[in-house]
Amino acid sequence: MKSGNLGYPRIGRNREWKKALEAYWAGKLEEEAFHAELKAIRLGNLKAQQERGIEIIPVGDFTYYDHILDTAVMFGLIPARFGRLEGKPDLSVYYAMARGSRDATACEMTKWFNTNYHYIVPELDQANPVLTGNRLLDTYREAKTELGIEGRPVLVGLYTFLKLSKGYGREGLAGWIDCLLPLYVQVLRELEAEGVAWVQIDEPILSSSLSGDELAHVARIYETLTKEVPGIKLLLQTYFESVDRYQDVVSLPVHGIGLDFVHDEGRNLQAVREHGFPADKVLGAGLIDGRGIWKADLQGKLETLNALTQAVSADRIIVQPSCSLLHVPVSAAQENLLHTTLREALAFADEKLDEIALLTKAANVGAQAFAAELAESDRSRKALEQSPSRARKQVHARIAGLTQQPSSRTESFDVRRKAQQERWKLPLLPTTTIGSFPQTPEVRSARQKWRKGEWGAEKYDAFIKEQIKTWIDLQAELGLDVFVHGEFERTDMVEFFGEKLAGFAFTANGWVQSYGSRCVKPPVIYGDVEFVAPMTVAETVYAQSLTTKPVKGMLTGPITILNWSFVRDDKSREEVAYQIALALRDEVEALEKAGICMIQVDEPALREGLPLKEEKKDGYLDWAVRAFRLSTSTVQTETQIHTHMCYCEFHDMIDSIRALDADVISIETSRSHGELIGSFEEHIYDKGIGLGVYDIHSPRVPTVEEIGTMIDRALKVLDSAQFWINPDCGLKTRKLEETVASLRNMVAATLLARDKY
Ligand code: GLN
Ligand code: ZN
């Protein structure tokens, strides 16, 4: 067996990559120095893999921003608004596509399958495909001459690339295959001429649900590539799920197939067992989790390898991660602040490569020769498994009694609506905001001072109170109907709660790329999640004490907390979601007890957890909805539960959104130019709803007329008695002046609408 990797984090050990990009954008780094800096990181990444004994090292996975953007630019797919292409596009065009320029808006960005990585969506219409360079060849040569590494170039497969693109126009998808296939051939031929033996070609789309017609397209692509470039061997790489149509996929005319044996729920292994594996192909065995941060059960992995050798001869197996390591942080070696048990159970990219190397050797030579290393790995995993943090009796008892836990409000929405009208006496078309107000430099610097210990808790609390007071007064002055406290004490909607709940830890350097230079450091859910003490009560109660208008309590929902964290892998995500949900219920109840009886539980990331396979979507949505309801169901009839969502494609989630049974939902709508509104023509929704009346992602202040138009459009399909007026999303990224001006216009538009409806 051989050891291999599929992709390495780009961001550098200490986010040097991010810093270089941002310095270059800010004009603080000359282009030449910038290239040199990125080259150093790129070579450093290759060396790290080499030093860890990885035999098959990918090249071309490195990027200046995003690998899908790289592919689009390599094929000359540059929308006309970025100028006419002459020769090789330079960095300014590349970054204009990613980030926008003075003259052209950026290309759209969207989630890479079910991960938190975002890629730039290629735009095909009006493009004139032409090969502008061969970045695979360049990086292959570089690795060889600089480090003596015979790398394996990585290229995103044509079918996946096209499925992620938009604007097929008259050619249609099939036409675009014809159009781009010759360019793929050319790229591969140049590699062939250089003496490259293998190319990794990523087709993760094969792991989503695939129709027979689609598979025919895929077959056509690979028949052409193997016929036209006979000297190159292709490893067709899939990940994130089991492959649909296993037998068809493994019979595609390529030389190797990479399968994910971690995120497949055992189906890939079962398929290999049941149907065998073609004798003339290599199997890329994705055994080490490329998305989680935990050490693997190496003994179990050796057993899987053993099972695979029943179907595939050992010399045709590559031991590899389940997907590119882009989704995990670089190295756990520096996490000295975590307690030992937790630290020793972690495996980031480097540690995962160590595991791959070890597994490969153990499989080749026999596990006895590596008994000590295997035992050590096992010991650290078990230590965490048996730690008190995973034995919180109360949590286990609550989960065991889940069937007795209420997950429905006592009264139906009709009854609640009347009771709530009575209690709150809100005007027609009530106005509110989504939660956060501007996080000014002042707010951020105060938090830094407090974190560094320069400010004591008292001083910091007083500062936060001052902010709250300022904004309560502003909301009163603006004439809003339902207030919020403004979230000044929170950096981030998950971290804030994670720091206050038991079961969470925070790494020092556990960064992963989210999009472009933007990295996130997800909290780690390592133990049982439990409520410790009220988290939001003090600020909310203080805000409420300053006004007679209702102040909404503001919480992040269980599914969003789950989806934006690294989650322990000894329990199902469903069970962890219920643990979080019950902890949040305690907070909801604490708020209610303190007199806060409008409570918003945000679930912007509900959609992010959707499985790739159609048949699994309902199952996920069922438990996600249940988790939300576990958090929100024990309140009084008069208590009004709100929720909020962004990027919500309504049509395929309407049943779940209804099932949340929130009294009021606000959804981002204006960012996508109100597309969502149309869904309500076909689908009935009868609870309180606010479709965002202006986009908050731009500093532009919307006019009263514009907002009025959005309200009119919404009220064509929704009843004015159920409609709320609010911006698309939280306002924390906006400046004070623009926020006040926008909200002023929003209230003015509402007053006009109240006369009309
Ligand atoms: N309440 C949060 C805020 O206003 C919601 C953020 C979100 O939807 N992502 O910031
Ligand atoms: Zn939002």
SS (H, E, C) 170-215: HHHHHHHHHHHHHHHHHHHHHHHHHCCCEEEEECHHHHCCCCHHHH
pLDDT at 612: 93
Is residue 554 in contact with ligand 1, taking CB distance under 6 Å?
Answer: yes
Instruction: Give every CB contact of residue 60 below 8 A, 6+ residues apart in sequence.
Output: 135, 136, 139, 140, 151, 153, 154, 155
Is the minimum distance from the CB of 732 to ligand 1 under 6 angstroms? yes
Q: Is 642 a known active-site residue? A: no
How confident is the model over 419-445, as pLDDT tens digits? 999 999 999 999 999 999 999 999 999
Q: Is 435 annotated as a binding residue?
A: yes
Q: Which two tokens stand for residue 327?
A: 């989704």
The tokens describing 755, both together, are 């006369």
- Percent of the residues in the chain that have a pLDDT greater than 70, as a whole number: 100
Q: Please say if the pLDDT value at position 184 is more than 80.
A: yes
Establish whether 608 is an annotated binding residue: yes
Measured between alpha carbons, how far is residue 71 from residues 36, 43, 65, 183, 567 in Å?
22, 21, 11, 11, 32
Q: 494 in ligand 1 pocket by Cβ < 6 Å?
A: no
**Both structure tokens of 19:** 């810093």
Whether 434 lines ligand 1, by a CB cut-off of 6 Å, is yes
CB 290 within 8 A of CB 328: yes
Written as six digits, the tokens of 284 are 């890329």
Distances in Å between the Cα of 128 and the Cα atoms of 80, 168, 366 are 9, 12, 54
C-beta atoms surrounding 306 within 10 Å? 12
Ligand index nearest the alpha carbon of residue 492: 1
Q: Whose CA is nearest to atom 5 of ligand 1?
A: 730
SS3 38: helix
Question: pLDDT value at position 674?
Answer: 87
Asked whether the CA dihedral 707, 708, 714, 718 is positive or negative, the reply is positive
CB 435 near ligand 1, within 6 Å: yes
Which is more confident, 405 or 270? 270
Burial of residue 564 (number of CB atoms within 10 Å: 0-12, 13-18, 19+) = buried
Would you say residue 650 has pLDDT above 80? no
Residue of minimum CA distance from atom 9 in ligand 1: 604
pLDDT value at residue 637: 98
Q: What is the pLDDT of residues 353-388, one digit of tens each?
A: 999 999 999 999 999 999 999 999 999 999 999 999
Residue 107 annotated as lining a ligand binding site: no
**What confidence tens digit (pLDDT) does each residue in 655-673 have?**
999 999 999 999 999 888 8
Ranges 180-184, 206-210, 309-313: which has the least confidence: 206-210
Question: Does the beta carbon of 242 lie inside 6 Å of ligand 1?
Answer: no
CB of residue 374 inside a 6 A radius of ligand 1:
no
Beta bridge partners of 519: 513
Higher pLDDT, 466 or 649: 466
| Candidate of 475, 493, 564, 598 to mutate for ligand 1, largest count of ligand atoms within 8 Å of Cβ | 493
Query: Is residue 295 within a helix (H) or strand (E), and if so which, with residue range?
Result: none
**How far, CA to CA in Å, does 412 sit from each of 296, 428, 638, 655?**
47, 22, 12, 17
In this structure, is the dihedral angle defined by the CA atoms of residues 447, 452, 454 and 456, taken in order, positive or negative? positive
436 has binding-site annotation:
yes
Contact 285, 310 (CB under 8 A): no
Residue 548 Cα to chain centre, angstroms: 39
Determine whether the shortest distance from the Cβ of 739 to ligand 1 is under 6 A. no
Ligand 1 centroid–CA 435 distance in Å is 6
| Radius of gyration for the chain, computed over Cα atoms and rounded to the nearest angstrom | 27
Ligand 2 center from residue 602 Cα (angstroms) = 8
Q: What is the pLDDT of residues 139-163, one digit of tens each?
A: 999 999 999 999 999 999 999 999 9
Q: Please tell me the number of Cα atoms within 13 Å of 462 on its side-chain side.
A: 5
Please state the three-class secondary structure of 689-731 as a single string: EEECCCCCCCCCCCCHHHHHHHHHHHHHHCCCCCECECCCCCC
pLDDT at 87 over 90: no
Contact 528, 390 (CB under 8 A): yes
What average pLDDT does the segment 490-504 reach? 95
Cα 598 from Cα 632, distance rounded (Å): 11
Asked if the model's pLDDT at residue 256 lies above 90, the reply is yes
Secondary structure of residue 351 in the 3-state scheme: helix
Q: Is 459 annotated to bind ligand?
A: no
**Whether complex ipTM tops 0.90:** yes
Distance, CA of 584 to CA of 212 (rounded, Å): 45
Average pLDDT on 577-582 reads 98
pLDDT for position 532: 98
Longest dimension (CA), the chain: 82
pTM for this structure? 0.96
Q: Which two tokens stand for residue 227?
A: 């016929």
With residues binned 3-state (H G I as helix, E B as strand, rest as coil), the percentages for the chain, rounded to 5, are: 50, 15, 40
pLDDT at position 126:
75
Residue 58 near ligand 1, beta carbon < 6 Å? no
**42 Cα–ligand 1 center, Å:** 36
State the amino acid at position 465 in one-letter form: K
530 pLDDT higher than 80: yes
Q: Which of 116, 432, 433, 434 to mutate to test the pocket of ligand 1 (most atoms within 8 A of CB)?
A: 434
Q: What is the pLDDT of residues 54-86, one digit of tens each?
A: 999 999 999 999 999 999 999 999 999 998 777
Q: Residue 619 pLDDT more than 80?
A: yes
Q: How far is the CA of 648 from the centre of ligand 1 (A)?
A: 14
Q: Which atom of ligand 1 is nearest to the CA of 730?
A: 4
Bridge partners for 601 per DSSP: 555, 643
In this prediction, residues 438-459 reach a mean pLDDT of 96
> Do 395 and 529 meet the contact criterion of CB atoms below 8 Å apart?
yes
Instruction: Centre a 10 Å sphere on the Cβ of residue 635 and count the other Cβ atoms it contains.
Output: 21
Nearest CA to ligand 1 atom 6: 730
CA 161 vs. chain centroid, Å, equals 19
Residue 284, CA distances (Å) to 620, 683, 747 in order: 29, 45, 59
The response to whether 18 counts as a known ligand-binding position is yes
The dihedral built from the CA positions of residue 572, 326, 558 and 457, taken in this order, carries a sign that is positive
Neighbours of ion ligand 2 (CB under 5 A): 604, 646, 729
Expressed in angstroms and rounded, the spacing between residue 563 Cα and the centre of ligand 1 is 15
What is the mean pLDDT of the segment spanning 115-130? 90
Within 8 A by CB and 6+ apart from 69, the residues are 63, 94, 97, 98, 107, 119, 120, 122
pLDDT digits (tens, 9 = 90+) for 277-316: 999 999 999 999 999 999 999 999 999 999 999 999 999 9
CA of 436 relative to ligand 2 center, distance in Å: 10
Cα-based torsion angle of the residue sequence 640, 646, 647, 648 in order, rounded to the nearest 10 degrees: 0
Task: Grade residue 648 by pLDDT with cuts at 50, 70 and 90.
Answer: low
Please identify which of the residues 275, 651, 673, 697 carries the catalytic annotation. Answer: 697
Report which protein residue has its CA nearest ligand 1's atom 10. 730
* CA of 604 relative to ligand 1 center, distance in Å: 8
Task: Write the CB contacts of 720 (distance below 8 Å, at least 6 apart in sequence).
Answer: 428, 429, 753, 757
Distances in Å between the Cα of 396 and the Cα atoms of 405, 560, 567 are: 13, 22, 17
pLDDT 10s digits, 192-205: 999 999 999 999 99
Q: What is the mean pLDDT of residues 468-494?
A: 97
Is residue 729 lining ligand 1, measured as CB closer than 6 Å? yes
Q: What angle do CA 492, 69, 175 make, to 5 degrees?
A: 130
Tokens of 633: 């169901």
Q: Extract the tokens encoding 212.
A: 């027979």
605 CB under 6 A from ligand 1?
A: no
Output the pLDDT for position 698. Answer: 85
What is the mean pLDDT of the segment spanning 515-544? 97
Burial class of residue 84, CB neighbours in 10 A (0-12, 13-18, 19+): exposed
Which atom of ligand 1 lies nearest, measured to the CA of 600? 1
Phi and psi (nearest 5°) for 756?
-80, -35
Nearest ligand, CA of residue 556?
1
**Distance (Å) from CA 644 to ligand 1 centroid:** 8
For the chain, the average pLDDT equals 96
